[in-house]
């Protein structure tokens, strides 16, 4: 990152990951969710994340359903939704999870945790939202220090272990019911058992997707992932080089949970770094004038094209919000961003 916190301008495609295909990187990735996302990107020929900053559940679900075919990640702000339904079986998150499985994208709750370790753990796993239950990915602002990342990583690991145990309990209960069912035909035994898997998960067996599942890839792995907010696209932000370096160091220390960064450039520096870079502040000029200059929004946000972010700065996924949502036809515009982002990636690895 440049000293004055403006956008970097030098090429950041020197690291081996910038020249490798997403498919090859998926084979080498050690984080299961990173590997899955890279395979999903390859399958859909997309490196587009939609920032769904809307205020009602209907808007959110409608955007997810209509734009889902073009994206690989949907970024949410659940606390912006005025009528978020917290019911674990039929609520907003449950419905969003079904749409995500239908079209093939991951859910990224842009929570930007930024407190002491104990607090962020509780914010992640408890409360009304219980983010860990439905969001594949979340993120953290590391201003409080590394303890926040360590605490979230610990919470993610404990949740995964508990969930695997509950899945095993559920599977054992199902097998027990099968055995008891066979016995009941002779001695009329009735067995009552519990299955702890949340109803909003396809693993519960309660959701029949039928043909409404993206073909060519399995359900996303159980693991959760974290992105560290290492750089920002807003003018005058205070995330200097020392802060960014500390983010990278913390990511390496928790590489089984940290997938990568929200950053303006690839932060892979060491030979074995495999982190993803997701970059906001992406905008295309109007379709009728593709040579036009891309300007900021007048509120501190600075924009760059997919060609610069992916082709020059080494980003892996572009995050686009208003450029798509506010378009006259969001579906057509999402496809335009998907295509431009993919072209920039193909040029980079060529």
Q: How far apart are CA 243 and CA 253, in angstroms?
A: 16
Tell me if residue 176 falls in helix, strand or coil.
helix
Catalytic residue among 44, 79, 85, 110: 110
Residue 302's pLDDT is: 67
User: DSSP characters for 302-349?
Assistant: --B-HIIIIIIT--SEEEESHHHHTSSSHHHHHHHHHHHHHHHHHHHH
Residue 167's pLDDT is: 81
CATH of the domain at 99: 3.20.20.70
Cα-trace Rg, the chain = 21
Q: If we measure between CA atoms, which residue out of 323, 278, 325 comes closest to residue 52? A: 325
Binding site per annotation, positions: 53, 75, 233, 301, 321-322
State which residues form the domain around 269.
16-349
Can you say whether the dihedral through the CA atoms of 123, 124, 128, 131 is positive or negative? positive
Residue 290's pLDDT is: 72
245 within domain boundaries: yes
Chain-centroid distance of CA 330 in Å reads 21
Beta strand 48-51 with 317-320 is parallel
Residue spans of alpha helices (H) in 45-77: 57-67
**Helix 92-103, helix 57-67: angle, nearest 10:** 10
Residue 92's pLDDT is: 97
7 within domain boundaries: no
87 within domain boundaries: yes
Specify the number of domains making up the chain: 1
Q: Let me know if 85 is a catalytic residue.
A: no
Residue 35's pLDDT is: 98
Catalytic residue among 28, 44, 85, 115: 115
1 within domain boundaries: no
8 within domain boundaries: no
Structure tokens at 214: 């993206």
Predicted confidence pLDDT, tens digits, the chain (350 residues): 333 344 444 456 689 999 999 999 999 999 999 999 999 999 999 999 999 999 999 999 999 999 999 999 999 999 999 999 999 999 999 999 999 999 999 999 999 999 999 999 999 999 999 999 999 999 999 999 999 999 999 999 999 999 988 888 766 666 666 666 554 443 333 222 222 333 334 443 334 444 578 999 999 999 999 999 999 877 788 899 999 999 999 999 999 999 999 999 999 999 999 999 999 999 999 888 776 666 655 565 568 999 999 999 999 999 999 999 999 999 999 999 999 999 999 999 99
Catalytic residue among 112, 150, 180, 235: 112
Q: How far apart are CA 236 and CA 44, in angstroms?
A: 36
Q: How far apart are CA 117 and CA 137, in angstroms?
A: 18
Q: How far apart are CA 121 and CA 32, in angstroms?
A: 22
2 within domain boundaries: no
Binding site per annotation, positions for substrate: 53, 75, 233, 301, 321-322
271 within domain boundaries: yes
Q: pTM higher than 0.95 for the full model?
A: no
Q: Let me know if 235 is a catalytic residue.
A: no
Q: If we measure between CA atoms, which residue out of 71, 73, 78 comes closest to residue 33? A: 73
Q: Let me know if 115 is a catalytic residue.
A: yes
4 within domain boundaries: no
């Amino acid at each position: 990152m440049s000293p004055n916190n403006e956008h970097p301008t030098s090429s950041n495609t020197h690291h081996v990951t910038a020249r490798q295909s997403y498919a090859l990187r998926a084979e080498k990735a050690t984080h299961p969710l990173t590997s899955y996302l890279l395979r999903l990107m390859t399958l859909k020929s997309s490196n587009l994340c939609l920032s769904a900053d809307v205020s009602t559940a209907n808007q959110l679900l409608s955007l997810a359903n209509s734009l889902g075919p073009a994206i690989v990640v949907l970024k949410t702000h659940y606390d912006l939704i005025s009528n978020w339904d917290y019911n674990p079986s039929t609520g907003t998150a449950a419905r969003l999870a079904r749409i995500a499985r239908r079209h093939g994208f991951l859910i990224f709750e842009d929570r930007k945790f930024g407190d002491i370790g104990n607090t962020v753990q509780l914010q992640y796993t408890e409360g009304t939202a219980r983010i860990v239950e439905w969001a594949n990915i979340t993120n953290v602002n590391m201003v409080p220090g590394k303890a926040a990342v360590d605490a979230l990583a610990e919470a993610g690991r404990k949740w995964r272990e508990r969930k695997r145990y509950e899945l095993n309990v559920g599977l054992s209960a199902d097998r027990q019911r099968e055995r008891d069912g066979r016995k009941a035909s002779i001695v009329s035994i009735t067995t009552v058992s519990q299955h702890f898997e949340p109803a909003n998960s396809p693993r519960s067996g309660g959701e029949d997707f039928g043909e409404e599942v993206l073909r060519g890839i399995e359900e996303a792995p159980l693991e959760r992932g974290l992105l560290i907010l290492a750089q920002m696209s807003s003018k005058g932000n205070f995330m200097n080089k020392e802060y960014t370096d500390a983010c990278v160091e913390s990511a390496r220390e928790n590489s089984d949970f940290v997938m990568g960064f929200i950053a303006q450039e690839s932060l892979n520096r060491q030979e074995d770094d495999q982190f993803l870079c997701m970059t906001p502040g992406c905008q295309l000029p109007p379709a009728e004038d593709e040579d036009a200059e891309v300007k900021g929004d007048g509120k501190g946000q600075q924009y760059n094209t997919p060609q610069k972010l992916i082709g020059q700065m080494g980003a892996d996924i572009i995050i686009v919000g208003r450029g798509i949502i506010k378009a006259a036809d969001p579906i057509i515009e999402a496809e335009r961003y998907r295509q431009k982002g993919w072209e920039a990636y193909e040029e980079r690895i060529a």
